[in-house]
Amino acid sequence: MMRKSNIFLLDEESISLLKKVIGNKILTIYSDGSSYGNNVFVSSYFSLLIYSERKALTKKSNNYIRIFSDYYLLEENNYYKMEIFNDKNPYKIRTNEKGHLIYPFVEITPKGNITLIEKIEIYKKSEEFNTEKISFDCGIVFTTIDDNSYLISVHQSIRGGVEFIEDRYEINKRIDQWELRTVLE
């Protein structure tokens, strides 16, 4: 019996947006989620406020990168498709007439010094079932010049959920199960 292969990786536009983060800072991360043990934050999305001393990420000054995951069901298996967008404001967060953010939302400030992102690693996961093989991007690790790391990955217990992790042990525990697909520097 021939296996059907399904590959769900970040598209070129998403990779291009991630490349623009290199050499910039992640100031704050916004979401609608909550946290649970070991510094793991779970949400339906994360909006990263990117700061550049050089210029805006785009001509329109859209300095938020939104990362989320969709859940899909194929013949015998489910998979998660990560997607990345560029936004003018944090996703789904309203602003008042002065442009200030209106609660409720979750605001995460990365640990340590806010330093430049030096590299980004993209990880994928592959699974095989009776008639199909599925490969999908499942995690993105941002590493700063002072060696702090942040992981945004699919949360496989919650449909459409993504998680943000700063704890090095928790990050390594997850990426040890995946395959490094590419490094952006």
Domain ranges, ordered by start, for the chain: 4-184
Q: What is the mean pLDDT of residues 143-157?
A: 87
Distance from C-alpha of 89 to C-alpha of 164, rounded to nearest angstrom: 19
pLDDT band at 124 (very low <50, low <70, confident <90, very high): very high
At 159 the three-state DSSP class reads coil
Task: Give the pLDDT score at 36.
Answer: 64
Q: Please answer whether residues 108 and 164 qualify as being in contact, where contact means their C-beta atoms are separated by less than 8 angstroms.
A: yes
Cβ neighbours for 30, distance < 8 A, ≥ 6 positions apart? 46, 47, 49, 64, 90, 91, 93, 101, 105, 106, 107, 108
Q: What is the mean pLDDT of residues 131-146?
A: 88
Q: Please answer whether residues 90 and 108 qualify as being in contact, where contact means their C-beta atoms are separated by less than 8 angstroms.
A: no
Q: What is the mean pLDDT of residues 80-100?
A: 74
Q: What percent of the chain has pLDDT over 70?
A: 71
Distance from C-alpha of 160 to C-alpha of 79, rounded to nearest angstrom: 10
pLDDT band at 60 (very low <50, low <70, confident <90, very high): very low
Whether 120 has a pLDDT exceeding 80, the answer reads yes
- The whole-model pTM stands at 0.85
Q: Is the dihedral of CA 14, 18, 20, 25 positive or negative?
A: positive
Q: Please answer whether residues 123 and 171 qualify as being in contact, where contact means their C-beta atoms are separated by less than 8 angstroms.
A: no
- Tell me the per-residue pLDDT of 30-44, one tens digit each, with 9 for 90 and over: 887 776 666 788 888
Which of the pair, 97 or 95, is modelled with greater confidence? Answer: 97
Whether 72 has a pLDDT exceeding 70, the answer reads no
